Structure 1
């Protein structure tokens, strides 16, 4: 059966008890006597119970209070203790002001991780002072803040140990600002030598895209440890490094030219004819299909890639050149048949841990089974598919042929699969639902032979799922034992199947049934009554 309600960890229960009494007990004296005093923001530390609480527990308490919207200014003052090494204030950005930033700078000098995502009330000058006093930071989040060129310059010159930085959607940043992160023109020295992950999403070019692409090229060449650069133009920057045609990407005065950076990256023991530059990038998103050859040449060690497929024939015929690729996302701008992808995954599929597909059409039922057979080591799979022009039975194989093919299918053995999501675009309700014999048999086989499946989503499937689950759960308890989260939104499923799942051996904690035509309000109420009566720790949503 699904998980029964269990007693929480003693540690968590204690923290929840503290959280429940923060206003009336732990923060009462400070809030009444000191909070609005002139000296309050300048207290180096506050004597109180939280100075004796371990740093990770203080951070967990902050997240608990912030996530439940119970955190106040007085409580935040008390919880900014000197032994914090990790601090995230993204759950309470409205409380974070210049005074709070000053407190952090004075009290929390041991921070290695700081997340100020959305804290837009801190002035940029205050951010500069804060970051100059935190040289031990290895992870920093400044997305949606007043971060500007001065702040990035402070990060570059002061945070020498930084490994991860997020400055997405900062309206005061420009392409030229990025240069100061990697190079200090006043000391003529490079910065952030350990930076591995950089997110600058939302940054727009000021004139065309040449200035921003040039700045991204500068970062890729000037940051020797960079493994992930999150921006929609990053793949174009990689392609520009491949061609080395930098005439249209000038930089601001005081910074080394892109040509100089290229010369600095070339191996000194090789001649000019052997000077191909490669980057240590492990992750790259929004790679246009025409850019694949250049990306393959410059980034041979990619592990994660998202590709936008155009309307050219064939699908990514160069994927197999990446021997290290384990996470692949493919999105089609023009509809393509899922069967086109199968030849490309014959060699590549065996090394994939994650596969995500969008915009493909399932014209042939067997294509799904063949594709999944090519990827035996998958841990996560997600596909958003479009149906044929009409879902009527005539668009699929005749029932007799489909039954014959379904009976000959090999088992889909996916021993490592943990998350599976299959979504169909809404179909034409005027046509009759398909038999989908082969597809249903494939789903049954997958559910029976994925022993570690934890998350399952079958959304908007146009045929009944009752038989799929009935067959998958035979013999009783043999499949879905580790299932925790289940979504059947907008799919045809009856209450009988949900009761069967609630009585089976699994770890269900959440079931989503929104938009299911076979589930009505009375069914939802009865399911909730059964869950409560049996003491199950399962949430069932429906609308």
Structure 2
């Protein structure tokens, strides 16, 4: 583009700093032997784990090699890439050799019998993260986890066919000691655990776990909503407990008593992340889980959501998805953005309609502390004039008035931004396009830390947007690493200007760009080779 002074990015060979006279090239700072030994062990353990993952994913790992690589240096061990090699003998070796393990992932290792899993867990009391998904884990294994792994913070028992709803009770309560277990457990993944007869059995088991585990922040199971509703209504009279376990009423009284000592007698849970929250149940989730920091909400085609019930004062990550056929207008999200926008660090909005042309910039004005933003919008329906056309059918010139003061704040923390418009036969109205152009130019010009940018299926030319951004003073796009313009309108000269930026761009996606042809793609590749850029370009 004319008038732009842009430096080129090259990769010269690394040079050693010049040594002063009489000074050796290699200098060693004195390190205490104990710290040095710990650092070497940690490094060796990381290298062994990386090697195991590489060999496993490439299907070159043998059982003999696995025997050799199970070393005492390991603090983290994942065998999910080679489940067919993991047997009873391997788990015995892990128990003997890998006493320092804090993280163990056995996902898919279904050849290990239940008894071997119990012996393994009894010999690894330092575990803080454990993956048993798709294994032969059962009630005895979960009981061993609860009684032996006191430091455990994360557990995955998803899709374990031998885990019944009642098995979860043994994870949270030790019958032999008559005491609650897993005081540090924060994450429990229990997807795929289905009730064998009555769904209420699983609902009560999940309610038991939620009430018994004092530190639980995330529970993944499709019946979580029903369990939270049971706790919210506290209708425990019909929930008959198992012999040897405290009742739900007793657990609820114990939790309420602990909160009453702190001045709050309402029954709440410490969950900080919830998923698949349907809009009618928002009040229940907010009431029972007031400390939620990350939420995924689903909106149907029903009446508008009462965002006034969204009383999550600690919410920092919000994802909202419209699941109905009609969708919702983006302007419906303005109340929640006005109430929580300043504290949001991540916002994802999908399935909304871009009806009000000022709704997008109004939303961003409320969320200036975002680190990540993602949205996929549909264009408004109805007879409108296309964005890049005039009544006589000739292409319209790009608007030159960029003085629209639409965004009132910079975005100093924004690192990831993605905006897509759904491909449809409906054109984007010209007024919407003008406002969106100005909003994007302002956003990109005032986001100095932006690393990934995706502008997908944008139905107007982005040349003017990037020209405005590159001509602006400051560090716009200087930290950009990944750029996707798939199915958007952008010209080859603009792309060459973007390649000339000194920003370490490593990925460029041009799939489906109508203005980029084979000759343009070949010229971009020649520029990459000539300038020795470490850049991958995708094109149809």
Using structure 2 for the length normalisation, give the TM-score. Answer: 0.84
Secondary structure at the counterpart of residue 229 of structure 1: strand
Pairing 1:322–2:312 present: yes
Identify the residue that residue 78 of structure 1 maps to in structure 2.
68
Equivalent-residue separation in structure 2 for 1:372 and 1:153 (angstroms)? 49
Q: What are the ranges of 5 or more consecutive residues in structure 1 without an aligned counterpart?
A: 11-49
Distance 1:270 1:115, change over 3 A: closer
Which has the higher mean CA deviation after the structures are superposed, 444-453 or 343-352? 343-352
Pairing 1:420–2:417 present: yes
Equivalent position to 2:343, from 346, 351, 354: 351
Q: Matched residue pairs, number?
A: 499
Answer yes or no: is the 8 Å Cα contact 1:153–1:180 preserved in 2.
yes
Equivalent-residue separation in structure 1 for 2:531 and 2:139 (angstroms)? 59
Equivalent position to 2:116, from 126, 150, 157: 126
Identify the residue that residue 531 of structure 2 maps to in structure 1.
534
Which has the higher mean CA deviation after the structures are superposed, 388-397 or 336-345? 388-397
Equivalent position to 1:177, from 164, 167, 175: 167
Equivalent position to 1:366, from 350, 358, 365: 358
Equivalent position to 1:458, from 447, 452, 455: 455
Equivalent-residue separation in structure 1 for 2:42 and 2:249 (angstroms)? 55
Distance 1:269 1:233, change over 3 A: closer
**Aligned pairs (5 A) from 1:134-173:** 134-173=124-163
Distance 1:191 1:527, change over 3 A: same
Secondary structure at the counterpart of residue 119 of structure 1: coil
Equivalent-residue separation in structure 2 for 1:128 and 1:3 (angstroms)? 56
Distance 1:164 1:451, change over 3 A: same
Equivalent-residue separation in structure 2 for 1:263 and 1:51 (angstroms)? 47
Equivalent-residue separation in structure 2 for 1:392 and 1:249 (angstroms)? 58
Q: Displacement of 1:354 after TM fit?
A: 0.8
Q: Displacement of 1:432 after TM fit?
A: 4.9
Q: Displacement of 1:2 after TM fit?
A: 8.0
Q: Displacement of 1:521 after TM fit?
A: 4.0
Q: Displacement of 1:514 after TM fit?
A: 2.1
Equivalent-residue separation in structure 2 for 1:357 and 1:377 (angstroms)? 16
Identify the residue that residue 215 of structure 2 maps to in structure 1.
225
Identify the residue that residue 4 of structure 2 maps to in structure 1.
none
Q: What are the ranges of 5 or more consecutive residues in structure 2 without an aligned counterpart?
A: 1-6, 17-39, 391-395
Answer yes or no: is the 8 Å Cα contact 1:235–1:284 preserved in 2.
no
Q: Displacement of 1:453 after TM fit?
A: 0.5
Distance 1:499 1:178, change over 3 A: same
CA offsets per residue over residues 367-424 of structure 1, 9 Å max, x none? Answer: 1000000001001111121222258526999999x98897242455211101111122
Secondary structure at the counterpart of residue 393 of structure 1: coil
Equivalent-residue separation in structure 2 for 1:478 and 1:324 (angstroms)? 32
Secondary structure at the counterpart of residue 352 of structure 2: strand
Pairing 1:102–2:99 present: no
**Aligned pairs (5 A) from 1:423-502:** 423-428=420-425, 432=427, 434-435=429-430, 436-475=433-472, 478-502=475-499
Q: Displacement of 1:84 after TM fit?
A: 1.1
Answer yes or no: is the 8 Å Cα contact 1:140–1:164 preserved in 2.
yes
Answer yes or no: is the 8 Å Cα contact 1:317–1:344 preserved in 2.
yes
CA offsets per residue over residues 489-543 of structure 1, 9 Å max, x none? Answer: 2222233222221112312111122222233344334323321232111111223
Answer yes or no: is the 8 Å Cα contact 1:412–1:445 preserved in 2.
no
Answer yes or no: is the 8 Å Cα contact 1:156–1:181 preserved in 2.
yes
Pairing 1:309–2:299 present: yes
**Aligned pairs (5 A) from 1:142-291:** 142-207=132-197, 209-247=199-237, 249-267=239-257, 275-291=265-281
Identify the residue that residue 300 of structure 1 maps to in structure 2.
290
Equivalent-residue separation in structure 1 for 2:495 and 2:109 (angstroms)? 43
CA offsets per residue over residues 470-490 of structure 1, 9 Å max, x none? Answer: 222114874110011111222
Which has the higher mean CA deviation after the structures are superposed, 524-533 or 350-359? 524-533
